[in-house]
Chain A
Amino acid sequence: MSAFLTFLAQPPEPVQRAVDTVTTGEAVAFWVLGPLALAGALGMLFARNAVHSALWLVLTMLSLGVLYMVQQAPFLGFVQIIVYTGAIMMLFLFVLMLVGRDSSDSVVEVLRGQRLAAIVLGVGFAGLVVGSLARALTDVQPVGLAQQNTQGGGNVANIGEALFTDYLFPFELTSALLITAAVGAMVLAFTSRVGKDAKKTQKELVEERFRGDRVGSLPGPGVFATANSVATPALLPDGSVAAESLSELIETTAKETLEDDVAEVSGTGHQADAHALKGEQS
């Protein structure tokens, strides 16, 4: 990627290029990144695992970001990587990981007419994309950003100027939308500190614990057992399994496999031979 960055850093050629020429570097970049982006999109659709799907989408977004950079829009390219890949997809991954790796897709229609609407909108969107693509390939004359980037303060300054003059209103509207979303999330996630279902403070938790049955900590996994794995339950001195040491998250070892340990701890099973290490000489 570094060599590629160097290629990007080259200042735009001062000579006016013919509008429809494509440099070799650009063509190579396109034929590498285009299939990658497409593969990412297909992979996202067909991956069985939700996290794998998200990763394929990341590949598509990265390829698009690099394509922007190749087409003389470095700011847009890096913002695409920072915002979409860095922030938005990370949020997706976050949710997917919290939901769990084994959760399957729900086929229940939550909103009535959801599928029909999705089909109609999908077909409409496909029509729009095909239409604009057809128009782009026939009517539009590609100009390129090379000349634009040499004027004013360069790519970044030009974008800033356009955003804060001609496109100020849409820009502010977008920020209003984002703030609404943020406030909405806060309202949804708000837990009251007063009232009946208030979250317990640390102090209250401590008091509750000291008034309860067990002041000390729960028995750790593997205590009194022959293994220190998290999956091994603690054994009480009489050889029975300490119920509190079983984790709800982890699948614990089956009871049968622990029978030897139980027998050993309770003193009923095979006793260790003190002379075992000496071998036959004893």
Chain B
Amino acid sequence: MRKEFAAKIGQLFESDDKLVFLTGDLGYNALEEIQSKYSDRFINAGVAEQNMVGLASGLAYEGHPSFVYSIAPFAVYRTLEQIRLDVCIHNHAVCIVGNGGGYGYGIMGATHHANEDLACLSPLPNMVCWVPAFSEDVEYCLDQIVTRKGPAYLRLGLGVSYPQPVKIGLINQVIKSTKKPRLTIITQGPVVKNAIKALEGVEDVDLFSMLTLPILDFTPELKNSIESTQNVLVIEEHTERGGLAEHLLMRLTREKLRLNQFEAFNAKGYPSKTYGSQDFHWKESGLDVESIQNYLANN
């Protein structure tokens, strides 16, 4: 998604001369064009992420909405207090951009993974976390972030394109429901592609992709699907605690939707204590195509 991200940032910078971009010394082979074209508003803040978030808050206070870019764990965990205090409680227009959320950095290892980022950020005041699932989502997310003006987190991953044209919104209905669905699957982030693959040839399952945490929208399509199936499977590249499944359970309870069955597939860390690609970690956590297919066969 870095390519789409850089292209959209370029467009936004062209139309708004107040925007500022800060990077924690990262962006090789992606951000060079923005760096050279907007040198006065592109700041390499060095390998100093906490300071970078403080800087962004000061810039935003002075009228410059800012993007803060790093690898997801460095952008989130190192800077959590700065995000909470300097950005969120003042409701400043600062967007934390975490590249490679979840297991996105694969074999780079645990230092470079972020599977608790949404649990850390989504409870913070005024914060909206954006988790594009497809490359096409990135543009929509950035438009929303700039329009909404408050604190935001954009979790970028390795994107794929939409398998078919769909209406892009806060909840993407990726595959249309059949008349009598038996299961509603709700995913977040690029792991959706495993659900799409697992659902090839399956005609009685609805699939949705949730773009934000907290859940900003609960569309009639999603509500109708759950009312009809009373059977929900969440697939998320995030720990069980504080992610989509927990947010969703609270929402379903408030909406008074009855469920017969609720299951969640989450990131499970490093169960075999070995490391590999994103696909490898998906398989280890049971987020892979086969695990989803097995669930479909038995439920």
Partners in one complex: no
A interface with B by C-beta (< 8 Å): none
B interface with A by C-beta (< 8 Å): none
